[in-house]
Amino acid sequence: MPIPANRLSRFRNWVSLSGMVLAFSALFAFVLLFGVDIYATHANPYMGILAYVVAPMFLLTGLAITMLGYVLETRRVRKGLAGDDSHLILHVNLARKRDRRMLVAFVGGSLGFLLLTALGSYQTYHMTETNSFCGETCHESMDPQYQAYKHSAHARVACVACHVGPGAGNYIRTKVSGVRQLYHTILGDFNRPIQLHNVDHRPAQETCQSCHWSQKHTGDLQKTYKHFLTDETNTPFTVAMILKVGGSDPVMGPVEGIHSHMNVANKIEFIATDDARLNIPWVRVTDPNGKVTEYRTEEFKDDISKHPIRSMDCMDCHNRPSHKYLTPNAAVDRSLAFGRLDPSVPWIKKNVVKALVQTYATREEANQKIEASLRADYPDDERIDALVTEAIAIYTNNFFPEMKADWRAHPDHIGHKDTPGCFRCHDGLHFASDGETSIKGSDCNACHIIVAQGSGEELQKVTPGGVTFFHIDSEFEEPICSECHTGETQEE
Ligand code: HEC
Ligand code: HEC
Ligand code: HEC
Ligand code: HEC
Ligand code: HEC
Ligand code: HEC
Same-domain pairing of 237 and 356: no
Name the nearest CA neighbour of 133 among 146, 116, 152.
146
In a shared domain, residues 105 and 166: yes
Q: Are 343 and 430 members of one domain?
A: no
The Å distance, Cα 212 to ligand 2 centre, comes to 7
CA–CA gap between residue 37 and residue 159 (Å, rounded) = 17
Domain annotation covers residue 151: yes
Sheet of strand 430-431: strand arrangement: 310-311, 267-271, 282-286, 292-297, 430-431
Residue where a domain terminates, one of 368, 403, 438: 403
The answer on 423 and 308 residing in a single domain is: yes
Task: Give the closest residue (by CA) to ligand 5 atom 14.
Answer: 415
Would you say residue 214 lies in a domain?
Answer: no
Tell me which residues have their CB closer than 6 angstroms to ligand 2.
153-154, 157, 161-162, 204, 207-208, 210-212, 314-315, 318, 321
Indicate if the alpha-carbon torsion angle 353, 355, 361, 362 is positive or negative. Answer: negative
Look at residue 5 in the predicted model and tell me its pLDDT. 54
pTM: 0.86
- Tell me, rounded to whole angstroms, the distance of Cα 37 from its chain centroid: 22
Q: How far apart are CA 436 and CA 446, in angstroms?
A: 18
* CB of 315 closer than 6 angstroms to any ligand 4 atom: no
Give Rg (Cα) of the chain.
32
Q: Which residues contact 153 (CB under 8 A, 6 or more apart)?
A: 321, 322
The two most distant CA atoms of the chain are separated, in Å, by 106
Distance 30 CA to ligand 2 centre (A): 35
User: Nearest 5°: phi and psi at 409?
Assistant: -75, -30
- Please tell me the distance between residue 70's alpha carbon and the centre of ligand 1 in angstroms: 51
- Whether 197 maps to a domain, the answer reads no
How many domains does one find in the chain? 3
Pocket of ligand 5 (CB under 6 A): 223, 225, 227, 239, 243, 414-417, 422, 426, 441-442, 444, 446-448, 469, 479
pLDDT at 4: 56
Which ligand 2 atom sits closest to the C-alpha of 156? 12
Using the 3D structure, point to which of 341, 374, 403 is the last residue of a domain.
403
| Alpha carbon nearest to ligand 6 atom 25, residue | 227
Tell me what pLDDT residue 200 has: 55
Residue 291 located in a structural domain: yes
Helix residue ranges, H only, 188-307? 198-201
Neighbours of 32 (CB within 10 A): 17
Full pLDDT tens readout for the chain, 492 residues: 444 557 778 888 888 988 998 999 888 888 888 787 777 665 566 666 677 778 888 999 999 999 999 999 888 888 876 555 444 555 667 788 887 888 888 888 888 888 888 787 777 777 766 666 666 666 667 788 888 888 899 998 877 778 765 555 665 666 666 666 666 766 666 777 877 765 555 678 778 888 898 888 898 999 999 999 999 999 999 999 999 999 888 888 888 889 987 766 788 999 999 888 999 999 999 988 889 999 999 999 999 999 999 989 899 999 999 999 999 999 999 999 999 999 999 999 999 999 999 999 999 999 999 999 999 999 999 999 999 999 999 999 999 999 899 999 999 999 999 999 999 999 989 999 998 888 988 888 999 999 999 998 889 888 888 888 887 655 555 678 998 899 987 654
Q: Which structural domain range is residue 365 located in?
A: 328-403
119: helix, strand or coil? helix
Query: To which H or E segment does residue 369 belong?
Result: helix 363-377
User: Could you tell me the distance, in angstroms and rounded to a whole number, from the CA of residue 317 to the centre of ligand 2?
Assistant: 13
Instruction: Say what the pLDDT of residue 240 is.
Output: 95
